[in-house]
Structures are given as structure tokens and as C-alpha cells.
Structure 1
């Protein structure tokens, strides 16, 4: 029993700062697979309710479909990919580049999740982290979770890190 308590304590102490940031529930996925992104928003901005959550979809994440959220307006911005990808034997050259949930209200004292799914292209580099910049807007204030660590930089050193997923080898 003590072993479990120590593990739980280490988890809480080791991830305390992560709870203050927008993060993904599942932080690893295999290239070439479908990834269900559950974006966790733990608080508002400076005590104000969150009214908009915008997620930039990085290159190599294709066929993105966001989940509608009751009480929120859902919009996507589409555009051309930098290159052509194969999906179910078909060439895919454009798709969702940004997902935007707006006109909602998530009070500062509550937590919520915003969900989308997409396919991680088979040629993404396994072993690296893929970042999804997020802007969280609240009545006249915004939190920009857009910082991406430079090569060799510790992600924990960033003040406003973008949520990311570690790319595992294709299975």
C-alpha cells in the first residue's frame, strides 16, 4: 500500500506545474495512427471565464474532425498542407489547420475538455514531440499556450508551453 501512496505522491509532485497549463490527456501516439486529442483546459485567464479555445493543427496531422461541444460554436479553418499525404490509398493535400470553439463560458473555477481526432501521418519523425499551439481567450484577456522548446531546451522551463504529444514508432 505504501508503494502506491508514494507513486501517487510522486505523480502529484512531478506534474503540479502541468496542471496549470493546457495539456493533452494522452501525451503519446504512434505515427500512422488515428489520435483522439482530448485537450484539457484547467482554468480561465486571470480569474475570468474561458470563452474561446483555438487550436492550431501542425503539419502532418490530417483528416482532423473536432467534436461539437454543447453551448459552444465550433468552426474550423481549412488550408493546403505543405505536401501531399496518403490516407486510405488516397492523396490528401488540404484539410483542417485550426479548430475554434467559441461563444461558450467555462468559469475559472471549473475544468473542461475539448476534443478532436486526426490521423498522424506515417512519415512524422518517431521519437520527437509534435506541438499544437493553443490560444485560450477570456473576456478581454488571453492565455497563449504557444511556446515550443528549442532543440535541447527543457519544456518545463517554458512559461506558456504548447501542448504536445510524443510520437511513437508506427505499430
Structure 2
């Protein structure tokens, strides 16, 4: 077959690409500021061959109204704490809420992937361009903290354990004039 060389080089390229994509990531890495957003955290593998037994997501400041999606075979716990400042939601001032969500159970075998979802309201301030959601992945053996943030101007791909990130799109579509 004439394709063999091409197929082999493509396979080689794919083999190089896949480890880099093996981080815990958000399924939809962009969203509009100030909107409700379904964050889907994709867990692509366990810890060095060991199955995943817990996923814990830290919620960044400014993200409110966090609701986890239940998962068959997993128990879900939320941790609430005071926010750094108050936020308005539906005309009410909110000064505390969910700061961490943890799913425990499974286990999720190393050779399978799964997704863990949260509904949340994204911040609407003009300063916030990126949100980072540090994730602690615990396995039957060992754990991985996906909690590295890129320094301003640094290449996020240079990080060994990047925190899942969400880019906020600052649009005018959601401003309400009364």
C-alpha cells in the first residue's frame, strides 16, 4: 500500500499530541461573561495507571450559583464559604456560596474517560478575562493536582499540571437597560 508511510507518520504525530491533551480540561473553554454556564470537566485518565476515585473542583472568586450535576455511582459534596465580596443575583445580595465541589466514588478506570458537570453563573466584571478551576484528582494510588496557572504572557502549554481554564468573552449582548 502506498499509504503506509503517511499513516505511520500520522500515527507518530498523534502519539506526540495525545499526552499533551491528557490534562483535566473544560469541554467548552470559552463562555460569555455574566451568563449561566455548564462547566463540563473532562477527566481523560487516572493517576499513572490507577483508577480515579475522587474529583474535587475549586470554584474561583466571582463565580456564583454553583450547582453540581449528580453522577450515577458517585456521591457529590459541596463546600460553602464566604466570598471575598458580595454579588448581586436576581436582585439579591449574595455574600457566600459554593467554593468547592467534590465527586467521590467510581472508580473511573485509567483506560476510560468521564465528565463531571457544574452549572454556574459567570462573573460580569470587565477585568476578569480568564477563570481557573484548580482540580484535585485522587486515585486508588496517588493523586494529581491540576492547579498550575500560567504567568501573564507565559505559554499555558508549558505547564505540567495546568488548572482547567475558561476564557470569558466580554460582549454587550447581555446588558439590560431599564
Same fold? TM cut 0.5: yes
Matches within 5 A, 1:75-154: 75-123=77-125, 125-126=127-128, 128-154=129-155
Give the Å deviation of 1:14.
10
- The match for 2:73 among 71, 74, 87 is 71
Residue 158 of structure 1 deviates from its aligned partner by 0.2
**Which runs of 5 or more residues in structure 1 are unaligned?**
1-8
Over 3 Å counting, the alpha-carbon distance change for 1:14 and 1:164 in structure 2 is: farther
How much does 1:124 deviate?
A: 5.2
Paired residues, what number? 160
**Which whole-Å CA distance do the structure 1 matches of 2:19 and 2:48 have between them?**
17
Per-residue CA distance 1:51-92 (angstroms, 9 max, x = gap): 000000000100000001010110000001100111111111
Indicate if the aligned counterparts of 2:126 and 2:170 stay in contact, CA closer than 8 A: no
What 5-or-longer segments of structure 2 have no aligned partner?
1-9, 174-178
Q: Structure 1 residues 86, 141: CA separation in 2 closer, same or farther (over 3 Å shift)? A: same
Query: How far is 1:18 from its partner?
Result: 4.6
Contact 1:66/1:115, CA 8 A, preserved across alignment: yes
Poorly superposed stretches of 4+, deviation over 6 Å: 12-15
Q: Could you tell me the TM-score, scaled by structure 1's length?
A: 0.88
Determine the C-alpha separation between the residues in 1 that align with 2:80 and 2:56.
13
Q: CA deviation at 1:103?
A: 2.3
**1: distance between equivalents of 2:70 and 2:30?**
24
Distance, in Å, in 1 between the alignment partners of 2:150 and 2:98 is 24
Pick from 37, 40, 54 the counterpart of residue 38 of structure 1.
40
Q: TM-score, normalised by structure 2?
A: 0.85
Distance 1:99 1:15 in 2: 30
SS at match of 1:156: helix
Larger Rg: 2
